[in-house]
Amino acid sequence: MLPPGSTIGILGGGQLGRMLAMAAAQLGYRCHVFAPEDRPPATDVCFAVTRAPFADTDALLAATGGVAAVTFEWENVPTTAVSALAAVVPVYPGVHSLDVAQDRMAEKQFVEWLGGRTAPWAPVSSRAELADAIARIGLPAILKTRRFGYDGKGQARIHQPSDADAAWTAIGQQPAILEGMVEFAHEYSVILCRGQDGKMVDWPVPVNEHVGGILAASRLPAPPLVQAQAAEAVALSRLVAEKLGHVGVLTCEYFACADGLRFNEMAPRVHNSGHWTIEGSLTSQFENHIRAVAGLPLGPTDLVLPRVEMRNLIGDQADDWQRLFAEAGAHVHLYGKGESRPGRKMGHVTRLSR
């Protein structure tokens, strides 16, 4: 167990790092944030900051003096840098989790190997392979880059064969997968945390509402179809965490289809669809992640009240801060990002009720 007063390194300085650093501070830990940006959101609330590109392994290594353990809040940190760090300081989750989660093809293969069902998919590394994949998977379908996709970025929809050229160009002609379009009733996520001793906790499963590929809201209780699938989704997600040897929070996103669940993707980190746990659960995803990294026992995840809604404040929605601050019982979180831009996550609000 890391004694309070120890410093935890966080790769990435966004809002997830900010909320991790606040949870760490509550437990008496200090956070040292590594990030390439000038003043990312986490720097308002952390003990030390090193500004360096993630690919600058020497700068990261030089800054680890005094850091007792390292974690990350962004899954696209280069695994070479993380491996170099892991040689000198414990890093949680490990490189294996990153390796799998950074590549859509690897994560789908991994989950299928464990018996999980995904959308039908095929690898695409050239325009000719895209034509083959369309023939195999059928249309409509979504072309997704294997790496660096988030919030619907790095994706292009293909409705008819004549869309294929534009889609291949739109994703930058990168290694990709073609995914058949799934008819789902809902999207939901399993958020779990695995400790260094292998013990796991998972949170009640929220339904997630996306607008334009970006999470807009997470709600509990989830609709009956999601509740009916939750136990199977949790079991699969736990198996993923165990087989990865994952330590910390792991998020797995699913589609609730009429004929059962389909795994969509995973994030080896705390997740936007778990922000409601700060006020809505006995222990938040952020606290349990820090607990796992520090080698502490994990806290219980029961709901505080039966109904929870977390709504993201995207773009100019955060400009409404005066009304939000005046609303009794609205737990407002603003991330300290100066300028609101369309599609930018500026904060969130959580509301609990009976």
Binders of ligand AMP in range 233-252 (CB under 6 A): none
Residue 206's Cβ-count burial label (10 Å; 0-12, 13-18, 19+) is buried
Under rule CB under 6 A, residue 212 binds ligand AMP: no
| Distance separating alpha carbons of residues 246 and 220, to the nearest angstrom | 26
Under rule CB under 6 A, residue 185 binds ligand AMP: no
Of residues 107, 163, 202, 265, which one binds ligand AMP by CB under 6 A?
265
Q: Which is nearer to ligand AMP, 42 or 119 (CB)?
A: 119
- Considering only the C-alpha atoms of the chain, give the largest distance between any 2 of them, rounded to a whole number of Å: 60
With contact defined as beta carbons under 8 Å apart, do 333 and 323 qualify?
no
Q: Which is nearer to ligand AMP, 182 or 231 (CB)?
A: 182
Under rule CB under 6 A, residue 149 binds ligand AMP: yes
| Buried b or exposed e, range 234-257, using 16+ CB within 10 angstroms | bebbbebbeebebbbbbbbbbbbb
Of residues 24, 142, 233, 290, which one binds ligand AMP by CB under 6 A?
142
Q: Which is nearer to ligand AMP, 73 or 179 (CB)?
A: 179
Under rule CB under 6 A, residue 179 binds ligand AMP: yes
Segment interacting with ligand AMP, rule: CB under 6 A, options 21-29, 176-184, 190-198, 325-333: 176-184
Of residues 11, 68, 119, 226, which one binds ligand AMP by CB under 6 A?
119
Query: Smallest distance from the beta carbon of 212 to ligand AMP, in angstroms?
Result: 9
Of residues 152, 175, 295, 336, which one binds ligand AMP by CB under 6 A?
152
Of residues 136, 199, 210, 307, which one binds ligand AMP by CB under 6 A?
210
| Distance separating alpha carbons of residues 318 and 353, to the nearest angstrom | 22
Query: Smallest distance from the beta carbon of 244 to ligand AMP, in angstroms?
Result: 19
In 3D, which of 214, 73, 218, 75 has the Cα closest to residue 151? 214
Classify 267 in phi/psi space as left (phi over 0), alpha (psi -120 to 50) or beta.
beta
Q: Strands of 67-72's sheet, edge to edge?
A: 48-51, 30-35, 7-11, 67-72
Residues in contact with ligand AMP by CB under 6 A are 119, 142, 149, 152, 179, 181-182, 187, 210, 213, 264-265
